[in-house]
């Protein structure tokens, strides 16, 4: 196999004959006005884009977001909710557990409870690292407390996004947070709505393999 590596690289090196191409500049494609979006405009655009792909947006404050979440759980008739106990938001939910459906936690590796995760969880709640206004996007960096499958396997994903972490563009988010400098996590995700497909007759259908519903609480 190392032969393949040597052969491919030597073929490529032999033909490095092209003139230097034009250098990309990271911000060429952006409209200037986008830099000026204030928080209200970012929230407006984010909401508009998310709702266009059937995500549910709820506005809340730091004092009443638990009420909003409790309301959502009730409206959806959830029997249980998967929530991390260790995160800031998760611990607040666990502290008032009596207001919510049965709270589940992701304590063990997936292998030990795969069946329950796949077939027994109604919804998962996670925080987010930030959002992107231009495209209506959540930025997730899953970790040991909120693993990757939380935003993927249960049929409903409820995510909390703080409006002051809403960036205008993906490029801005990546740069402002110094993704390259801090190093990339195991898995970084952009999520822009519930799972969907247009593979049959180019007609949109929601809930293919990921969550059928995406609910965003903006705080």
Within residues 91-110, the interface with another protein by CB under 8 A covers 106, 108-110
Check residue 61 for interaction with another protein (CB under 8 A). Answer: no
Q: Strand pairing of 156-161 and 130-132?
A: unpaired
Q: Of residues 42, 49, 76, 129, which one binds another protein by CB under 8 A?
A: 49
Check residue 24 for interaction with another protein (CB under 8 A). Answer: yes
Count of beta carbons in the 10 Å neighbourhood of residue 205: 12
Shortest approach of another protein to residue 98 CB, angstroms?
27
Q: Which residues contact 90 (CB under 8 A, 6 or more apart)?
A: 83, 84, 125, 127, 145, 146
| Pattern 178-197, another protein, x by CB under 8 A | -xx--xxxxxxxxxxxxxxx
Residue number with CB closer to another protein (95 or 190): 190
Q: Torsion-angle region of residue 209: left (phi > 0), alpha (psi -120 to 50) or beta?
A: alpha
Q: Strand pairing of 196-197 and 205-206?
A: antiparallel
Find the binding residues for another protein in span 122-181 (CB under 8 A).
134-137, 143-144, 147-149, 152-153, 169-171, 174-175, 179-180
Residue number with CB closer to another protein (77 or 178): 178
How many residues in the shown chain lie near another protein by CB under 8 A?
Answer: 80
* E strand or H helix at 10: helix 2-14
């Amino acid at each position: 196999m190392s032969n393949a590596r040597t052969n491919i690289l030597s073929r490529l090196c032999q033909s490095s004959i092209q003139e230097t191409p034009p250098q990309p500049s990271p911000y060429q494609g952006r409209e200037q006005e986008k830099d000026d979006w204030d928080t209200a405009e970012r929230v407006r655009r984010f909401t508009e884009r998310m709702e266009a792909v059937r995500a549910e947006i709820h506005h809340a404050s730091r004092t009443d977001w638990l009420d909003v979440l409790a309301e959502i759980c009730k409206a959806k008739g959830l029997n249980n909710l998967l929530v991390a106990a260790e995160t800031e938001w998760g611990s607040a939910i666990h502290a008032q557990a009596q207001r919510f459906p049965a709270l589940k936690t992701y304590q063990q590796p997936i292998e030990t409870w795969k069946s329950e995760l796949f077939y027994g969880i109604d919804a998962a709640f996670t925080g987010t690292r930030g959002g992107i206004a231009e495209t209506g996007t959540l930025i997730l960096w899953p970790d040991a407390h909120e693993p990757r499958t939380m935003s993927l396997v249960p049929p409903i994903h409820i995510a909390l996004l703080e409006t002051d972490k809403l960036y205008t563009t993906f490029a801005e988010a990546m740069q402002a947070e110094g993704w390259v400098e801090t190093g990339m996590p195991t898995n970084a995700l952009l999520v822009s709505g519930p799972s969907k497909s247009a593979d049959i007759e180019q007609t949109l259908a929601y809930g293919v393999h990921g969550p059928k519903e995406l609910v965003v609480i903006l705080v």
